[in-house]
Amino acid sequence: MTQSQHSRDVVAYMEELGQRARHAAQAMASADTRSKNTALLAIADGIEAARQTLARANRRDLDAGRQRGLSEALLDRLQLSEARITAMAEGLRQIQALPDPVGEVAQLSQRPSGIEVGRMRVPLGVIGIVYESRPNVTADAAGLCLKSGNATILRGGSEAIHSNLAIAHCIQAGLAAGDLPGDAVQVVEVTDRSAVGALLSMPEHVDVIVPRGGKGLIERVSRESMVPVIKHLDGVCHVFVDNDADIAKAVAIAYNAKTQRYGTCNTMETLLIAEPVAERVLADLGPMYRDAGVELRGCARTCEVLSSALPATDEDWSTEYLAPILSIRVVPDLTAAIDHIHRYGSRHTDAIVTENLGKARRFLREVDSSSVMVNASTRFADGFEYGLGAEIGISTDKLHARGPVGLEGLTTQKFIVLGDGHIRD
Amino acid sequence: MTQSQHSRDVVAYMEELGQRARHAAQAMASADTRSKNTALLAIADGIEAARQTLARANRRDLDAGRQRGLSEALLDRLQLSEARITAMAEGLRQIQALPDPVGEVAQLSQRPSGIEVGRMRVPLGVIGIVYESRPNVTADAAGLCLKSGNATILRGGSEAIHSNLAIAHCIQAGLAAGDLPGDAVQVVEVTDRSAVGALLSMPEHVDVIVPRGGKGLIERVSRESMVPVIKHLDGVCHVFVDNDADIAKAVAIAYNAKTQRYGTCNTMETLLIAEPVAERVLADLGPMYRDAGVELRGCARTCEVLSSALPATDEDWSTEYLAPILSIRVVPDLTAAIDHIHRYGSRHTDAIVTENLGKARRFLREVDSSSVMVNASTRFADGFEYGLGAEIGISTDKLHARGPVGLEGLTTQKFIVLGDGHIRD
């Protein structure tokens, strides 16, 4: 088969998946909560019952990965350990326990014309998920899309194909148990890269794409997609310690925001401190960070106070380290802090520590990030902490969904109008 | 100057507009309601005071348009009559009277960790409006974007440039009266087509594009834009008369939905009738449509009942006539009606006429359109009728804004978190 024939086959295959998904989406939109919950529990049970099979399929992927020379970090992400299999099943049970967002009617009210107008929450339709090596995304994403009444096309990394197909098998059995169409969740079986391109080029069959993975993947998907994308880019998060801060709270929050976990997108990457309290705050925090093994990169003033800090470059201010490294800048005041955040931040999560109400209100209003906090650690920016339940990701976009995206972000609202023979004059 | 030099100049000019807009957006986001309302009233007053100047500028556009051989329809759209100037001013006063959506905090509640989490409504940032010959869009769009705290870049049709710049002059004076940055509303002064391309290629400076105009413009903008687009495509709207309909209501609604105005996107284009009541409904409606001069194109069964109907082709079912033409199809039942709407509709506005609660609920749930109605004319699908106030357009997209887009559609929500030194365990 020639290369171009092959590409045509992939496109035709994806087109068929798209048509099937569009068709299934119609049935899913009116599926009742009981059917969806039955399916979710059946998938969870099925995954636990299939531990052996899943482990075997995963071993094939791991062996192939080792032969292809994948890095240890990638192999770790690829692995379906006992604990991860249990976590997948538990995640599905948690999604099952969440309230069904579909069909909720809000703001129903009567208008002067006599009609009643409200908004009904409905699924988006067909959601394409493009992800990399973690096979557990297959179950997580399928569960969230299923509960929110959407059909899904899942395109995982080629290195996880056997694991993903084994999970897909459990999902199919679960859908059947809930009397839901098998096409409601389809795993792309073609590992060819052109399958992603085809998925991104079917706005008639796919309503939204959610890329999950590294920055390279997300940038490629955003650039190429003709379908709207809900995406998460950088998390360059700030904590600003105002001169009216309670210093004990400031120290606790700044320490927690950096050290509680290093590799997460809501970890603080830059600490901003108002000049009047800089010495006191740095005197406390310097040794704490040193003991935790955090490398400090500071502005000139910071380096003056903390001899252990290295000089920061301009690049540091816009870097998401995802590592035990922190940049620190002493700023004159709140205005300078907000300017810094606007210039270097990534609109993800930013916090102020202050006891001054006026400054807190100004920070909340003026900082244009998906989460803006007062006197709390940036690490709280998370769907579970916010009470949304499981999340499909955190959006750094402004349109549609902003911040942690849970079930609600996978739905939309349509207007409903109720009349009794009403016509317009 | 060579062509490529010229293009570079246009790109540089647009880039500068983008940077200015991004800067102004920051000030606009924290502008208080009083300043915004002062500006809106000052613009309205300024437009009325500048009637002579506006009429003169408009005459230049009309003269140039006639010389270039623009059609009468285009020249009509281009015209700024006395009545249209008054309507622009009145529109701005209505926007001034609407509640300010910015800063509203919703769903603030305490989480088990002790933090309080809520959502604050904030402007989108910078909105690009791309429109054609109607100069009144300049004032309408600027007013809506201003009230919702956004900065705007307005790119109207080259044929309206003098009218648009004259309106822009009034807007500038009004912004100054409200102590708001002049860059909050910028009218593109370059009439070169490449200015649109440049505007669509600046996601770093522009947060959303709203195209206003014919289908050609909207399709071009959607295809080329690297910035998210809120758009309105076709309005192929349906009324389905169920066999449990009150025939008098059905006849009134079907007549109103078609004939109240022909050229609007929420006008019914296809009437679906359940077979058991088809003869009665058509017997009433046939003469009414004939008297109104509506051309009927029917399925075989319709033509059997109504000798005046011409046979409809498959193309008719997906055509937005925007004219006194109606396609009519007799269908076996509700399921067939929903299938027809899914296959041929444009997801804009669709209505059922029925007294049966179960069927009404099913139609509301299963029809995937931005407005779904029971016993009301599709002509109600409108921002004013829904109580949203003025609208920037009607979105047939699903993400972000669906249906009539008013002030709320020009904003987004960010999460706010309030703590008292809270850190994550």
Instruction: Choose among A103, A125, A399: nearest Cβ to B228.
Output: A399
What pLDDT shows up at residue B63?
97
Please give the average per-residue pLDDT across A271-276, as a whole number. Answer: 98
A·B CB contacts under 8 A: 223
The residue with tokens 């408009």 is B58
Judged by CB atoms closer than 8 Å, whether chains meet at B416 and A381 is answered as no
Backbone angles phi, psi at A156, to 5 degrees: -90, 180
CB contacts of A125 in chain B (<8 Å) are 368, 398
The residue with tokens 């829904």 is B386
Task: Quote the pTM value.
Answer: 0.91
Cβ atoms A414, A120 nearer than 8 A: yes
> From B357, which residue of chain A is nearest by alpha-carbon distance?
A418
Task: Judge whether B340 is closer than 8 Å to chain A, CB to CB.
Answer: no
Task: Judge whether A346 is closer than 8 Å to chain B, CB to CB.
Answer: no
Give residue-wise pLDDT tens across range B333-386.
Answer: 999 999 999 999 999 999 999 999 999 999 999 999 999 999 999 999 999 899
What pLDDT shows up at residue B90?
95
- Amino acid identity of B348? H
Instruction: Choose among B364, B385, B416: nearest Cβ to A120.
Output: B364
> From A108, which residue of chain B is nearest by alpha-carbon distance?
B386
* R_g over Cα of chain B: 24
Task: Judge whether A106 is closer than 8 Å to chain B, CB to CB.
Answer: no
Please give the average per-residue pLDDT across B45-68, as a whole number. Answer: 97
CB contacts of A208 in chain B (<8 Å) are 398-399
Please give the average per-residue pLDDT across B307-329, as a whole number. Answer: 96
Q: What residues have CB less than 8 Å from A226, skipping those under 6 apart?
A: A200, A201, A202, A203
Cβ atoms A288, A255 nearer than 8 A: yes
Please give the average per-residue pLDDT across B119-142, as a whole number. Answer: 95
- Considering only A52-56, A242-246, B254-258, B402-406, which range has the smallest mean pLDDT? B402-406
Cβ atoms A39, A28 nearer than 8 A: no
DSSP sequence for A381-414: -STTTTT--S-SEEE--SSS--EEE-TGGGEEEE
Give residue-wise pLDDT tens across range B381-415.
Answer: 999 899 888 888 889 888 888 999 999 999 999 99
Instruction: Choose among B207, B402, B423: nearest Cβ to A412.
Output: B402
Task: Check residue B409 and report its DSSP letter.
Answer: G
ipTM score for this prediction: 0.91
What pLDDT shows up at residue A396?
87
Which residue in A104, A117, A348 has the most chain B C-beta atoms within 10 A of its own C-beta, making it the best mutation to test that interface?
Answer: A117
Cβ atoms A403, A350 nearer than 8 A: no
Share of chain A above pLDDT 70, in %: 99
Instruction: Choose among A115, A260, A413: nearest Cβ to B424.
Output: A260
CB contacts of B399 in chain A (<8 Å) are 124, 207-208, 228, 399-400, 412
Residues 84-103 of B with CB under 8 A from A: 103
Give the integer Cα–Cα distance in Å for A381 and A372: 9
Backbone angles phi, psi at B95, to 5 degrees: -65, -40
Give residue-wise pLDDT tens across range A208-239.
Answer: 999 998 889 999 998 899 898 998 888 999 99
What pLDDT shows up at residue B358?
97
Residues 3-32 of B with CB under 8 A from A: 26, 29-30
Cβ atoms A366, B123 nearer than 8 A: no
Give residue-wise pLDDT tens across range A306-355.
Answer: 999 999 999 999 999 999 999 999 999 999 999 999 999 999 999 999 99
How many angstroms separate the most distant Cα atoms in chain A?
A: 79
For residue A47, give the nearest of A128, A130, A143, A190 by alpha carbon: A143
Give the integer Cα–Cα distance in Å for B224 and B4: 20
Cβ atoms B122, B413 nearer than 8 A: yes
Task: Judge whether A414 is closer than 8 Å to chain B, CB to CB.
Answer: yes
What pLDDT shows up at residue A2?
64
Which residue in A380, A384, A397 has the most chain B C-beta atoms within 10 A of its own C-beta, making it the best mutation to test that interface?
Answer: A380
Mean pLDDT score of chain A: 95
Query: Which segments of B175-318 are extended strands (E)?
Result: 185-187, 208-212, 237-241, 268-274, 295-298, 310-311
Which residue in A399, A400, A402 has the most chain B C-beta atoms within 10 A of its own C-beta, making it the best mutation to test that interface?
Answer: A399
Give the integer Cα–Cα distance in Å for A127 and A208: 5
Please give the average per-residue pLDDT across A401-406, as a whole number. Answer: 92
For residue B412, give the nearest of B119, B147, B159 by alpha carbon: B119
What pLDDT shows up at residue B1?
52
Give the integer Cα–Cα distance in Å for B220 and B311: 34
For residue A140, give the nearest of A183, A171, A173 by alpha carbon: A171
Give residue-wise pLDDT tens across range B204-240.
Answer: 999 999 999 888 999 999 889 989 899 888 899 999 9
Q: What residues have CB less than 8 Å from B140, skipping those under 6 apart?
A: B88, B91, B390, B392
Task: Judge whether B370 is closer than 8 Å to chain A, CB to CB.
Answer: yes
What pLDDT shows up at residue B213?
85
Reported confidence tier of residue B2, pLDDT bands at 50, 70, 90:
low
CB contacts of A364 in chain B (<8 Å) are 120, 416
Cβ atoms A416, A120 nearer than 8 A: yes
Please give the average per-residue pLDDT across B123-127, as a whole number. Answer: 97
Give residue-wise pLDDT tens across range A164-184.
Answer: 999 999 999 999 999 999 999
Residues 173-212 of A with CB under 8 A from B: 207-208
Distance from CA of A337 to the nearest CA of B (A): 14
Residues 213-272 of A with CB under 8 A from B: 228, 246, 248-249, 252-253, 255-257, 260
What pLDDT shows up at residue B390?
83
Is the model more confident about A243 or about B391? A243
What pLDDT shows up at residue A372?
98
Give residue-wise pLDDT tens across range A138-161.
Answer: 999 999 999 999 999 999 999 999
